[in-house]
Amino acid sequence: MAQSTVSTESYGVRYGLIAAVVMIAYFLFINMINLQDVEIVRFASNIFIILAVMWAIYSFKNNYRGPVPYLPGLAVGFLVGLIGSVVYAFFIYVYAKFLNPNYATVLNTQDYYGSVLSPMMLAGAITILGTAVGTMTGYILMMAYDNSGARTTE
């Protein structure tokens, strides 16, 4: 049985934190250049979760001895999305609630997901979306990397 040199949890936490830091930097950057009201620009932060999952699974694959099993690879994608989006959502909540209360008023005038959301609801929505993006990216990548022999040639 092949063993990974590093656990899936450590990959998920490491790359999830990297994704969160980059998303926070991106958020501060778009606020600095006053593009936070542009929906496409705001939601583009999910690209960093996709890139972090790709990087994490690629690194996991390179450090794994033997064929990469599907479920541990999927777990890496899920954890990167979950950790990254939870940390980012927590930052958004703290930013809107304590660091810049005026931003909470801005949130109340913007239409997120078809409705007006409080900072807490926005944090929850960010967490759900980020986790889904990470999981789906991991799912797609593991379809390419899975060499477990479960596929048929018929």
What is the DSSP track for 94-148?
A: HIIIII-HHHHHHHHHS-BTTB---HHHHHHHHHHHHHHHHHHHHHHHHHHH--S
Given a cut of 90, is residue 55 above it in pLDDT?
Answer: yes
Residue 38, SS3 per DSSP: coil
Domain count, the chain: 1
In this prediction, residue 59 carries a pLDDT of 93
| Domain-embedded: residue 99 | yes
Query: What average pLDDT does the segment 121-143 reach?
Result: 92
Domain carrying residue 131: 8-145
Q: What percent of the chain has pLDDT over 70?
A: 83
- Paired strand residues for 64: 4
Mean pLDDT is highest, among 31-35, 67-71, 104-108, 109-113, for: 31-35
| Domain-embedded: residue 41 | yes
Given a cut of 90, is residue 20 above it in pLDDT?
Answer: yes
| Domain-embedded: residue 153 | no
| Domain-embedded: residue 150 | no
| Domain-embedded: residue 67 | yes
Least confident segment among 11-15, 22-26, 78-82, 115-119: 115-119
| Domain-embedded: residue 133 | yes
Confidence grade of residue 28 (pLDDT, cut at 50, 70, 90): very high
| Domain-embedded: residue 152 | no
In this prediction, residue 136 carries a pLDDT of 96
In this prediction, residue 137 carries a pLDDT of 96
Given a cut of 90, is residue 65 above it in pLDDT?
Answer: no
User: For residues 101, 104, 105 and 107, what is the CA-based torsion angle, rounded to 10 degrees?
Assistant: 160
| Domain-embedded: residue 1 | no
